[in-house]
Amino acid sequence: MYYDLRWRILRKPWNQPQGSEQDDLEESSFHRMIVNEKGKTLGVGRIQINFSEEAQIRYMAVEDGYQNKGIGKLVLQSLEEIAAKKNVNFIILQARGNALTFYKSSGYQIVEKSYLLFGEIQHWLMRK
């Protein structure tokens, strides 16, 4: 359920294979998932501690039809709580263009234009 949502939202539309939604930091990272009363996964996200002062949020995804309903905000807040408990000084993330407003509304600021995923999805480095 968790990885399936990540793949369907973040990889499948660009013809990426299942498994491409995971990396070698899965086991050492902290994961959050929002599930409805029927067991359907609505939102997911992950945070990794890069070093004692920095955490990084990755793989945020919300099910189609559930965006703009507070699901992403709940996942993000839960991940930020983990960072606070780990006493990190700042959180970074790589945001797609369609998510910039969402992250800005949660206090993240653009640091710089970053990489182009799959040759077409522009990302921006953000920090809070």
Rounded to 5°, angle at Cα 120 from 127 and 42:
60
Over residues 17-36, the mean pLDDT reads 96
Secondary structure in 3-state letters for 9-77: HHCHHHCCCCCCCCCCCCCCCEEEEEECCCCCEEEEEEEEEEECCEEEEEEEEECCCCCCCCHHHHHHH
Point out the least confidently predicted range of 19-23, 52-56, 117-121, 123-127.
Answer: 117-121
Over residues 35-41, the mean pLDDT reads 96
Tell me the C-alpha distance between 81 and 54, whole Å. 14
In this predicted structure, the answer to whether residue 119 has a pLDDT above a threshold of 90 is no
Q: What is the pLDDT of residue 124?
A: 97
For the chain, the domains span 2-127
How is domain 2-127 classified at the CATH fold level? Answer: Aminopeptidase (3.40.630)
Over residues 18-37, the mean pLDDT reads 96
In this predicted structure, the answer to whether residue 60 has a pLDDT above a threshold of 90 is yes
88 by DSSP, 3-state: which? coil
pLDDT band at residue 7, thresholds of 50, 70 and 90? Answer: very high
Both structure tokens of 109: 């600021």
Tell me the C-alpha distance between 97 and 40, whole Å. 27
Both structure tokens of 89: 């000084």
